[in-house]
Structure 1
Amino acid sequence: MKTIKTLALIFATAMTLVSCSSNDNDAEIKLDSKILFTSNNTDGNVNMYNVTSLNNVTKATLTTTATAADGIYYDGNQDLVVQASRSSFGVEGYANITNFATSTTVSANVTGTLDMTSPREIAVKDNIYVVADNADVDGDPDTKDGKLFVYTNNGGNFTLRNTITTDFKLWGIIFIGNDLYAIVDTTNKLAVFTNFLNNSSNATLSASKTIAIEGIVRTHGLTYDTATDVMVLTDIGEASNGQDDGGFHVINNFAANFNGTANNETLAISNQTRVAGTSTLLGNPVDVAYDGDSKTVFIAEAGNGGGRILAFNNIGNGGNLTPAYNATLSKASAVYLHKE
């Protein structure tokens, strides 16, 4: 079994300390690392940041054939990076990354049919890969709908198992156990489909439950840490402002808070911690990852300054925090944290 522990990425430049900088330096990814995988909509490349220490961040890049990409995931058992290509409109996997050095050009060696129109986030359960597509399904812009593409990864191929049409627009998705949580795009709402994978045929499906999140204008990204029961949601604010009206919400004791909020009711801001303000550099935070060990939030910021990868720690009571780490990444679109 290969995991990130076995990464032998030997890079060209010696390790140099960097902090709150866009000038990441190439270095070896060492044992017991925390690796942040990122996608973007500028060149479609996969960037891998060693974020074991925010005072010593290094980066390696896989140059892909995609020209734009969104959701991203790393499977340590297969040593496989997967992202949703917004140029080919399929799911693409890059295997054996332990063999790659920085600035290596790679081709997708795990592919499938090109079924999607506007793929966004990826959620993974065992060998099932679910991709949220936020394109208009019925051709009527006045009706809200989206589609979930359900793929199986067997024998080195992504095979479309079925599709689920939703009665709301989609963006971020994540599995918590057997339940699929989904962002209700253009709103401040969070929905859940219980026992989602039991739906194995093409169908139209309504959420099992939907709640609103007080304090959020429009949410996009979400992530959940099972060990600490923490959910983090991003707020992109007004779509017309991509520079300084974004934020994110941390919800501790998420299970109790979600279960204690009735269907179609609102989770109070008093049960959340909000980070927002001009110092945060959050304008259009489209995706998020969370390290429960260090209580660090990682953000794919698509708008501010053209795009950034940001990290926040010492969140405490929230507020207008300055990022602990800030690196330029044009049109950043997705982040995934892998820990060993």
Structure 2
Amino acid sequence: MKKNVIQLSLAIALGSFLMVSCDKDDDDTIDMEQQDEQVKLFASNNSNGNITVYDMASGETSTLTTTSTAAEGIYYDDDTDEIIQASRSSNQLNAFANISTFLVDATLTVSISSSADLESPRDIAVNDDFIVVADNADADGNADTPDGRLFVYTRSNGEITLRNIVTTDFALWGIEMVENDLYAVVDKTNELAVFTDFTATNTTNTTISASKRIAIEGIVRTHGLAYDDGTMILTDVGDAASDSDGAFHIISNFDSKFNGVANGEIMAVANNQIRVSGASTFLGNPVSAEYDADSKMVFIAEAANGGGRVLAFSNADAGGDIAPSVNNSLASASSLYFYSN
């Protein structure tokens, strides 16, 4: 996520997803500037596999049709102007080039694909030329032994190549790179794990345990996570069969709080976390999150409530049963990526 220090002012008109880059004058009036800034939210889904792009500077929403029929995990690289998406229908990574040229709805052609190595991709994380994919298929075929796999790809010379596969001793879902450390949710639990110096220390096919695992008090089953400028967002899908018991937690000063909890111990809710949940939130199965620290906006891919939604919360720091500032329908929404330049 590339950032500059901009203020995001939320405006909602005719149900569209509109965010505007702006500055405030000394008298607190909004001065519409920096209209050349790009502020976009990219969304994947498991209904048709297409990419929905919410352009927050123009207020326009476009649909980029892909070759996938289901997709989970998405990333936009501004250096190459391409989207990388994990396809659940073809079990591979697909890259789509020249994204900025598509100003309206369009059909994308795959520019690069990896080999079809995956079984059940759930999220991707990018660090330099490494693309890590979390796959939650049962690695050993024994349902009684939790496990998952992290597929590590390299991107160079116009190719996406599988470097190695890391098997974990817990089921996976969301992952997030924070500098060189890989954070991963421990699926089917309320735990969060970290693998320190992940791509540098795990260069061959191997089975490893996390460098550290802790429980997050108040969460039933975590799925999505997002980190920006010291704040971590964790989603809670609760009972996966329910479309109304979801939540997300905000953990500011995350690094010090996480480091302050011993391996295997619990991070308490009190004085550490803010929980957002309740009927007004429209949260049922929030499977993915993004966060913008400048505007303090929390973005959620909600997979179940209303058939699927993309939600944004501008007042999440208040906690509790709060309504989203933006509520857009997106069938089987699965993953998000926030970008601003």
TM-score (norm 2): 0.90
1:159 match: secondary structure? strand
1:304 counterpart = 2:309: no
Q: CA deviation at 1:147?
A: 0.3
- CA separation in 2, counterparts of 1:246 and 1:24? 22
Counterpart AA for 2:40: I
Counterpart AA for 1:199: N
Q: Find the counterpart in structure 2 of residue 314 from structure 1.
A: 315
- Asked if the contact 1:20/1:323 (under 8 Å) is kept, the reply is no
| Runs of 5+ unmatched residues, structure 1 | 6-16
Matches within 5 A, 1:191-340: 191-197=193-199, 198-226=201-229, 229-241=230-242, 243-270=243-270, 271-340=272-341
- CA separation in 2, counterparts of 1:4 and 1:273? 24
- Asked if the contact 2:232/2:251 (under 8 Å) is kept, the reply is yes
The 1:236–1:19 alpha-carbon spacing in structure 2 relative to 1, beyond 3 Å, is: farther
- CA separation in 2, counterparts of 1:295 and 1:107? 35
Q: CA deviation at 1:315?
A: 1.9
- Asked if the contact 2:12/2:326 (under 8 Å) is kept, the reply is no
- Asked if the contact 1:111/1:156 (under 8 Å) is kept, the reply is no
Q: CA deviation at 1:106?
A: 1.0
- CA separation in 1, counterparts of 2:103 and 2:14? 24
Give per-residue Cα distances to partners, 1:102-153, cap 9 Å, x unaligned.
2211111111100010001000000100000000000001110000000001
- Asked if the contact 2:45/2:333 (under 8 Å) is kept, the reply is yes
Q: Find the counterpart in structure 2 of residue 173 from structure 1.
A: 175
Larger strand percent: 2
Q: CA deviation at 1:20?
A: 7.8
Q: CA deviation at 1:176?
A: 0.8
Q: Find the counterpart in structure 2 of residue 39 from structure 1.
A: 44
1:162 counterpart = 2:164: yes
> What is the percentage of aligned positions where both structures have the same residue?
53
Q: Find the counterpart in structure 2 of residue 96 from structure 1.
A: 98
- Asked if the contact 2:64/2:108 (under 8 Å) is kept, the reply is yes
2:318 match: secondary structure? coil
- CA separation in 2, counterparts of 1:98 and 1:34? 12
Give per-residue Cα distances to partners, 1:131-188, cap 9 Å, x unaligned.
0000000000111000000000112211000000000000000111111000000000
Q: CA deviation at 1:18?
A: 4.0
1:78 match: secondary structure? coil
Q: Find the counterpart in structure 1 of residue 123 from structure 2.
A: 121
| Runs of 5+ unmatched residues, structure 2 | 5-10, 19-33
Q: CA deviation at 1:317?
A: 2.8
Give per-residue Cα distances to partners, 1:5-60, cap 9 Å, x unaligned.
9xxxxxxxxxxx74482x569xxx952121001000011111110235xxx73211
Counterpart AA for 1:331: S
Q: Find the counterpart in structure 2 of residue 13 from structure 1.
A: none
Give per-residue Cα distances to partners, 1:74-102, cap 9 Å, x unaligned.
00000010110000000001011122232
- Asked if the contact 2:166/2:206 (under 8 Å) is kept, the reply is yes
Counterpart AA for 1:267: M
- CA separation in 1, counterparts of 2:316 and 2:204? 43
Counterpart AA for 2:51: V
- CA separation in 2, counterparts of 1:200 and 1:88? 25
TM-score (norm 1): 0.90
- Asked if the contact 1:20/1:325 (under 8 Å) is kept, the reply is no
Q: CA deviation at 1:235?
A: 0.4
- Asked if the contact 2:17/2:326 (under 8 Å) is kept, the reply is no
- CA separation in 2, counterparts of 1:195 and 1:123? 14
Q: CA deviation at 1:199?
A: 0.8
- Asked if the contact 1:150/1:162 (under 8 Å) is kept, the reply is yes
1:182 counterpart = 2:184: yes
- CA separation in 1, counterparts of 2:205 and 2:134? 15
- CA separation in 2, counterparts of 1:273 and 1:87? 36
Q: Find the counterpart in structure 1 of residue 73 from structure 2.
A: 71
Q: Find the counterpart in structure 2 of residue 137 from structure 1.
A: 139
1:201 match: secondary structure? coil
1:316 match: secondary structure? helix
2:276 match: secondary structure? strand
